[in-house]
């Protein structure tokens, strides 16, 4: 169904949306979408940093000094 929508169809949809919502509402909506994407990327970055920190802590050698000398 969506495979049949070409450039003229997309332009018609864009014009209808612009008429219904107005230019100001669409620009504020796109600004909110941009803020959401930025917050999502920041959250993913923070999550990956936490995982790396946890892995670094888990990989630390916790063998007692006496056992390390014997090996």
**What pTM, to 2 d.p., does this model score?**
0.51
pLDDT-derived band at 1, boundaries 50, 70, 90 = low
Distances (CA, A) of 18 to 5, 9, 12, 23: 18, 14, 10, 6
32 has pLDDT over 70: yes
pLDDT-derived band at 43, boundaries 50, 70, 90 = very high
Distances (CA, A) of 65 to 4, 58, 68: 71, 18, 5
Q: Name the percent of the chain lying above pLDDT 90.
A: 28
Can you read off the two tokens belonging to residue 66?
């006496």
59: DSSP letter: T
3-class secondary-structure state, position 63: coil
Residue keyed to tokens 């504020």:
28
């Amino acid at each position: 169904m969506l495979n049949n929508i070409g450039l003229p169809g997309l332009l018609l949809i864009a014009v209808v949306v612009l008429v219904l919502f107005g230019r100001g509402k669409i620009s504020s909506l796109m600004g909110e979408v941009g803020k959401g994407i930025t917050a999502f990327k920041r959250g993913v970055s923070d999550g990956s940093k936490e995982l790396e920190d946890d892995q670094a802590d888990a990989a630390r050698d916790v063998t007692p000094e006496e056992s390390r000398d014997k090996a």
